[in-house]
A and B are shown apart, each in its own frame.
Chain A
Amino acid sequence: MTLERGETLLVTLGIPVVLLVFFTLVPVLPTGTRHRVDFLAPGVLALAVMSTAMVSLGIATAFERSYGVLKRLGATPLGRPVLLTAKIVSVIAVEVAQIVILVAVSLALGWRPHPAAGLAVVAVLLATVAFAGIGLAMAGALRAEVTLAVANGVYVILLLIGGVLFPLAKLGGLASFARLLPTAALSDALHPTLGAGSGVPPEAWIVLGVWAVAAPVVAAMTFKWE
């Protein structure tokens, strides 16, 4: 059902691609790397993960809750575990599609990655769980329209301070706060594993790990099914 919502596809795929292409071709961002695409490619991947796992999952679930769909499903043999598994599978499927397209576009723009793919995948999975937890926590606690606004708002903020379009160092004092957030942690993990080849800062793994545990737990505890 998510794929059928054209507007979601626009956000989840359109925005990362547009940002990637525009800021690669237009020399306006202080990416700090020789080729802008080397910084932007991992950055938009982090963005893609956030938009699928947090924004589109969160909003879809929020509306399912407001239409009474979740409540109705509760009366069928479907069961919560199966429902959650189905949602996770669909999130991962969309992410795979996004990654394929974004990697293809990046390569076409001249990206030359040195991928430590295994670690990158781990980072993406941890971040997916963390963002899904945040998205579902919003969906379960807030009214659907509020979740819509908050999810999109958080997306924009994390886009700006998440190390997606320019290095965190450029943020000055704000950087230490930004590093505690999952988007920055994910970009901090993806940049070295897919690009420069230097190690992932351990703080990034810790931040990702903490969010990946705490966010789903909070969501599970606070989810109101009606």
Chain B
Amino acid sequence: MDGVSFDADAGEVVALLGPNGAGKTTTIETLEGYRRAGAGTVRVLGLDPWSDHTRLTARVGVVLQRGGVYPVMSAERAVRLFASYYEDPRDPEELIDLVGLRSVARTPYKRLSGGEQQRLALALALVGKPSVAFLDEPTAGVDPAGRIAVRDVVSALRSDGVCVILTSHELDEVQRLADRVVIVDHGKVVAAGRQGEIQGGAEELRFAADPGLAVGDLSARLGVPVSEGPPGEYVVSAAPVPALVASLTAWLAERDLALGDLRAGRQRLEDVFLRLTGAEVGVPAGSANHAAGSDSRRRERRGRGRR
């Protein structure tokens, strides 16, 4: 990691976003006390999670990337077991209902679906009534109904004054849930700010069409900058007044080009994300998976070495 710095307050949901290999898990594991920061200061509730780990465990709840439950143990038993580790735990039955696992409470962990396992992990993270919750991909593999349950749980945590730091790849979810967003890439913070601010004040016009259009020509015609981000995604950097839209569609009509998509106004979080980290994602379709995979492996190695 390279100079990652941010803070989060009680009753706030902060989302840590980034492509695979960007350093989200490294960052969150440092906050959880599993790794030691190479340089700089890490404070959770005023304590150092590495050296004061024992004092923090009672007040922090975590959802790890990988389960952490005995495969033969039932959901109910797992929650009860974890409740026994804390002085003032939540009622296990209530928690199971809260995350929507009542129907599979007696099912062994290994027979739960990925989404059910993830929701159980959420219950286990909350059983100790934490003041801070670190949720690594809490909705990964969760079905839409379950996602609503998770969202409700996170909102309730926020109302209770819990500080929630989560990572996610589901940018629509994050947009609905997070108060603040931190985007990391290559071990650095590339954007951070309140939800809404990050999307930028400047208004734009975005459209999708065939890749490789003559943006120079279009830009000259419209009199404003036009750029192509990921292939086929174009951004016109000007307020989307009707006249501009008309000129754009006229230009496309002259060349008999189809318009795939047209969006005006404030960007979606996904657009910001792709733009900031898009260089890695924007490779020709055929080689996309291969290149992205080896890129993230390389990044992961570099990230660890630098620490």
8 Å CB contact of B57 from A4, A71, A75: A75
Chain B interface residue bracket vs A = 20 to 34
Output the least CB separation between B241 and chain A (Å).
53
8 Å CB contact of B68 from A71, A77, A79: A71
Output the least CB separation between B8 and chain A (Å).
18
A73: which B residues are within 8 A, CB to CB?
68
Q: B64 at interface (Cβ–Cβ under 8 A)?
A: yes
8 Å CB contact of B58 from A1, A74, A77: A77
Output the least CB separation between A49 and chain B (Å).
25
Output the least CB separation between B121 and chain A (Å).
8
B85: which A residues are within 8 A, CB to CB?
76-78
8 Å CB contact of B70 from A64, A75, A79: A64
Closest to A80 in B: B54
Output the least CB separation between A118 and chain B (Å).
36
Chain A interface residue bracket vs B = 10 to 19
8 Å CB contact of A68 from B68, B72, B82, B86: B68
Query: Please, how many angstroms separate the alpha-carbon atoms of A30 and B275 in the complex?
Result: 79
B61: which A residues are within 8 A, CB to CB?
75
Q: A67 at interface (Cβ–Cβ under 8 A)?
A: yes
Q: B138 at interface (Cβ–Cβ under 8 A)?
A: no
Query: Please, how many angstroms separate the alpha-carbon atoms of A68 and B32 in the complex?
Result: 15
B66 touching A68, Cβ below 8 Å: yes
Q: B192 at interface (Cβ–Cβ under 8 A)?
A: no
Q: B6 at interface (Cβ–Cβ under 8 A)?
A: no
In this complex, which of A67, A68, A75, A77 has the most chain B Cβ atoms within 10 angstroms of its Cβ? Answer: A75
A4: which B residues are within 8 A, CB to CB?
72
In this complex, which of A72, A76, A78 has the most chain B Cβ atoms within 10 angstroms of its Cβ? Answer: A76
Contacts A68-B64, A68-B66 given; does A75 touch B32 at CB 8 Å: yes
Output the least CB separation between B70 and chain A (Å).
6
In this complex, which of B54, B68, B82, B86 has the most chain A Cβ atoms within 10 angstroms of its Cβ? Answer: B68
Closest to A4 in B: B72
CB-CB contacts below 8 Å: B17-76 with A: 32-34, 54, 57-58, 60-62, 64, 66-73
Q: A116 at interface (Cβ–Cβ under 8 A)?
A: no
Q: B187 at interface (Cβ–Cβ under 8 A)?
A: no
Q: B92 at interface (Cβ–Cβ under 8 A)?
A: no
Query: Please, how many angstroms separate the alpha-carbon atoms of A75 and B54 in the complex?
Result: 9
Contacts A75-B62, A77-B128 given; does A68 touch B67 at CB 8 Å: yes
A1 touching B70, Cβ below 8 Å: yes
A78: which B residues are within 8 A, CB to CB?
57, 85
8 Å CB contact of B69 from A69, A74, A75, A79: A69
Contacts A76-B128, A77-B128 given; does A71 touch B64 at CB 8 Å: yes
Given contacts A67-B70, A72-B68, 8 further A-B contacts (CB under 8 A): A4-B72, A67-B69, A69-B68, A71-B34, A75-B62, A77-B58, A77-B85, A78-B85
Q: Which 3 interchain pairs have the tightest Cβ spacing?
A: A72-B68, A68-B68, A68-B66
A residues adjacent to B (C-beta < 8 A) = 1, 4, 64, 67-69, 71-79
Q: List 6 A-B contacts (CB under 8 A).
A: A1-B73, A68-B66, A71-B34, A72-B64, A76-B82, A77-B57
